[in-house]
Structure 1
């Protein structure tokens, strides 16, 4: 108005606040829907109130699926803290009710803020439906300590055990997503008496530097890591949005902006680099054959962050495993793609066996 302008950042913040108030996210647009190249539309069911014959009837502004009733939400989860052997404070949360499902930590998590991001909000509601979901923030990110004495793969596995002991879980199914899949594999090998079933989603046995076989692959892996270092240390928005698009290739610019904002809130730039360096060195290929429980490996067929060949490698290594490939390009499935409902259905069926 006049010489006053509303910046894109201000509009994004205001829209995120409005969606948070009504339970929407950039991905789950049940009430406020993005209309590309036009703006935004309110699509909730409206009730006409008046004296005419149509009073009291519901009018649909736009066809959409109503959100399924779920047992969980940010106000119904309980957040607690425990300490690892080296004194690191680990935050963990429980939400929902029923038989437990423990999710191994993976990076870019924040027990509180996950409810407002298109990356994780639908995952939490879907995984906690008819069960108790237990999850925690990895050391170095989220609500767990960011300044820590150790930052290695073995520390991550030990932290998982710390959470298991704190929650009092005895025998339970374990879910590992992305690099959390390798942590879950290592834990299942170290504590076979604890794990009843293992679910690996978008996971891999070997990090990018480890699995690089040719000189070209090694150079590409090194370049990818160098770009990540520069992007994270300088908080380069251009890089962070490219990073976001690898996780949400079908996302909108608004989704990528929210994802980028979420990235910045999950950890420090220095820790972001440490995470990526450690991910590249992950290797559980020598122990995966010792997983003793039934295992479901589920992966997007055209995953742009972790190739589906990595899921095939895990399936070949783990004896009692089955592989499911979903029609998707997403590393982390979004709420609006058909593969998301298939993903939940496969997990429900697998845990019900």
Structure 2
């Protein structure tokens, strides 16, 4: 079994070169890539709807890895990981917790983007002893505004064809934001070898059901948010069309120890449009 000692021995690699490994989690192989600093509390990256390890921006991951251990992984059934993806957030969260334990960690930082942020909130609230600090990007709480309107968001994203979906979903319609989106797509292609597998239609369908259910649920008095006592860094763009930007402010109002960063002229993928600044915010947040 992989351990935190032999994982961190690979710190000389970066996002573009780190080999993909696998670890057995309850008898199912999960794929992951770990790189960065040898010592310290690792940052576990929790990915967005449909995304795999290759959908993380190397500008972000490498900058964070310069100061912290970084772990990218595919949750159950996602990308090259085996098994069947659950159709609800609590089960996805438990799979992520089991993966973290399988690597030998008992304390981690969580960086959750979009769907990954739903999962991160659940873990922080229900497994508080595991989470040191929390970064929530382009995400929202249970029953958040427009989260359940996933199908409508996707229909609009495909209007310019499949090659423009991420730009339409993650970036604003301004020339500057679109230019940043095109640069982002270029960075995603920098890893030349050992590329990840796309998620199956079954996985995408189950993730969609989990997101819609999460958006339709209610959490009276924001009980889950108010139970998150770990320090939280919340970030988003000013025009998030996937998870309305107001959701970030609602999380700020209800998480007891939180900071909010909003970037102008940006959307759901503001953490990639402003990758260097986002990584700097994360590194300062984790080090202080």
Give the corresponding residue for 1:305: 242
Kindly indicate whether the alpha-carbon contact (under 8 Å) linking 1:288 and 1:314 is maintained by their aligned counterparts in 2: yes
Give the corresponding residue for 2:204: 272
Tell me the secondary structure at the aligned position of residue 50 of structure 2: coil
Residue 290 of structure 1 and its aligned partner are, at CA, apart by: 0.5
Kindly indicate whether the alpha-carbon contact (under 8 Å) linking 2:59 and 2:275 is maintained by their aligned counterparts in 1: no
Kindly indicate whether the alpha-carbon contact (under 8 Å) linking 1:202 and 1:332 is maintained by their aligned counterparts in 2: yes
1:222 and 1:314 map into 2 onto residues whose CA distance is 20
Residue 244 of structure 1 and its aligned partner are, at CA, apart by: 4.0
Give the corresponding residue for 1:332: 269
Equivalent residues in 2 for 1:16-35 (5 A)?
none
Larger helix share, 1 or 2:
2
Give the corresponding residue for 1:191: 127
2:101 and 2:120 map into 1 onto residues whose CA distance is 15
Q: Alpha carbons of 1:239 and 1:281: their partners in 2 closer, same or farther (altered >3 Å)?
A: farther
Give the corresponding residue for 1:182: 118
2:150 and 2:138 map into 1 onto residues whose CA distance is 22
Kindly indicate whether the alpha-carbon contact (under 8 Å) linking 1:72 and 1:129 is maintained by their aligned counterparts in 2: no
Give the corresponding residue for 2:278: 343
- The superposition leaves residues 279-310 of structure 1 with CA deviations (integer Å, 9 ceiling, x where unpaired) of 12215644121111111111112223222101
Give the corresponding residue for 2:50: 108
1:248 is aligned to 2:175: no
Q: Alpha carbons of 1:288 and 1:197: their partners in 2 closer, same or farther (altered >3 Å)?
A: same
Residue 322 of structure 1 and its aligned partner are, at CA, apart by: 1.6
Kindly indicate whether the alpha-carbon contact (under 8 Å) linking 2:243 and 2:268 is maintained by their aligned counterparts in 1: yes
In angstroms, what is the RMSD of aligned CA positions?
3.5
| Unaligned residue ranges in structure 1 (runs of 5+) | 1-69
Structure with the bigger RCO (C-alpha within 8 Å, sep 6+) is: 2
1:164 is aligned to 2:96: no
Q: Alpha carbons of 1:259 and 1:123: their partners in 2 closer, same or farther (altered >3 Å)?
A: closer
Kindly indicate whether the alpha-carbon contact (under 8 Å) linking 1:186 and 1:288 is maintained by their aligned counterparts in 2: no
2:285 and 2:241 map into 1 onto residues whose CA distance is 26
Residue 327 of structure 1 and its aligned partner are, at CA, apart by: 2.4
Q: Alpha carbons of 1:172 and 1:222: their partners in 2 closer, same or farther (altered >3 Å)?
A: closer
Between structure 1 and structure 2, the one with the greater Rg is: 1
Residue 334 of structure 1 and its aligned partner are, at CA, apart by: 6.7
Kindly indicate whether the alpha-carbon contact (under 8 Å) linking 1:175 and 1:184 is maintained by their aligned counterparts in 2: yes
Q: Alpha carbons of 1:110 and 1:289: their partners in 2 closer, same or farther (altered >3 Å)?
A: same
TM-score when scaled to structure 1? Answer: 0.63
Q: Alpha carbons of 1:256 and 1:78: their partners in 2 closer, same or farther (altered >3 Å)?
A: closer
Q: Alpha carbons of 1:260 and 1:171: their partners in 2 closer, same or farther (altered >3 Å)?
A: closer
TM-score when scaled to structure 2? Answer: 0.76
| Unaligned residue ranges in structure 2 (runs of 5+) | 1-11, 190-195
Residue 204 of structure 1 and its aligned partner are, at CA, apart by: 0.9
Kindly indicate whether the alpha-carbon contact (under 8 Å) linking 2:20 and 2:31 is maintained by their aligned counterparts in 1: no
Number of residue pairs matched by the alignment = 260
Residue 241 of structure 1 and its aligned partner are, at CA, apart by: 3.0
